[in-house]
Amino acid sequence: MRPAILNDLTKCIGCEACALACKEVNGLPDRDRRGTLSADTWTAVEHRNGLHIRRQCMHCLEPACASVCPVAALHKTPEGPVVYDADRCIGCRYCMVVCPFGIPKYEWDEPVPKVRKCVLCFETRLEEGRQPACTEACPTGATIFGDRDELVREAQRRIEAEPGRYVPRIYGLEEAGGTSVLYLSPVPFEELGFATLRDEPYPGLTWDILSKLPNVVSVGGVLLAGIWWITGRRETLKKARSGEISVEEALARKPPLVPLDDDDRAAPL
């Protein structure tokens, strides 16, 4: 099974139950409900042209964000969802630059910021055999969860059964090489702010461009290493100061703190 979501915009009533369920299951603050995605809002309902459009990570079949992440903080699981490991992240934000849908958001106001986005409830629900909180909460069946191939067939069935109700297109079927989040709409997707994209997977396009810029890549590698060292040291120091880890543990981590003599070890950090 390739887990996926089908959003039928003709059925959505704009109740935002999906957005609230997402916040609850992920422990996100109930704020910033402006119909746009943010570090605190991983599922949002946008209201445009009389329709309600649910926005979230598209979970690309070949995600560009994961392909450019130098430390695999963002990676696609064998099951399908694109998930995030904050402990690996060095804050380079390449994922934000290359995502064709503009999904990843950054915690600009946090002392130790992370990249934030929908992870399809992978650890909290999917691994337990349950559907994502958003699809379970939908009262009208506007957003449903299932196997991608089966959802594609269901979308095609709806279009064929009611050609006057839908535009003859499944958004996400081929865009950016295909996504795990699919849409049906009664009006052209371009009128609703959906991106017009190539059908080819974006990782290949990204690395094709980078391969022609060897100096940029090599210098960027050095820069990323420096960012990793600084960010990692800051996090280690923060944990040592709070007492979460001991001075000895801090010294053993990578990147390590500067070695301390006996007097320094006894002094507060």
What band does 154 get if pLDDT is binned at 50, 70 and 90?
A: very high
220 or 70, greater pLDDT = 70
Q: What percent of the chain has pLDDT over 90?
A: 62
Q: What is the pLDDT of residues 130-152, one digit of tens each?
A: 999 999 999 999 999 999 999 99
pLDDT band per the 50, 70, 90 thresholds, residue 246:
confident
Query: Among 25-29, 97-101, 109-113, 181-185, which stretch is predicted with the lowest mean pLDDT?
Result: 109-113
Contacts of 241 by beta carbon, 8 Å cutoff, 6+ apart: 269
> Rounded mean pLDDT of 235-255?
66
205: phi then psi, degrees, rounded to nearest 5: -65, -40
In the numeric block, the tokens 């060292």 are attached to: 229
**CA quadruple 140, 142, 55, 48: dihedral sign:** negative
Query: What's the one-letter identity of residue 232?
Result: G
Contacts of 144 (CB under 8 A, 6+ apart): 5, 6, 8, 135, 138, 151, 154
Predicted structure pTM score: 0.77
pLDDT in tens, 91-113: 999 899 999 999 999 999 888 89
Report which of residues 49 and 267 the model is more confident about: 49
| Percent of the chain whose pLDDT exceeds 70 | 77
Q: How far apart are CA 188 and CA 134, in angstroms?
A: 25
Single-letter amino acid code for the residue at 221: G
Of the listed ranges 39-48, 69-78, 258-267, the least confidently predicted one is 258-267
Mean pLDDT of the chain: 85
Exposed/middle/buried for 103, CB within 10 Å: 0-12, 13-18, 19+? Answer: buried
pLDDT of residue 82: 96
In order, the DSSP letters of 186-246 are SS-GGGGT-----SS-HHHHHHHHHTT-HHHHHHHHHHHHHHHHHHHHHHHHHHHHHTSS-
pLDDT above 90: residue 258: no
Strands 105-106 and 44-48 turn out to be unpaired
Nearest alpha-carbon partner for 184 in 31, 24, 51: 51
**Integer Cα distance of 45 and 52 in angstroms:** 6
Beta strand pairing status for 3-8 and 143-147? antiparallel
How many Å apart are CA 84 and CA 96, to the nearest integer?
13
User: Looking at residue 251, what DSSP letter applies?
Assistant: H
Contact predicate 93/68, CB 8 Å: no
Alpha-carbon torsion (227, 206, 101, 63), positive or negative = negative
What is d(CA 24, CA 79) in angstroms, rounded to the nearest whole number?
23
pLDDT at position 201: 86
**pLDDT tens, position by position, 186-220:** 999 999 999 999 888 887 666 565 555 555 445 55
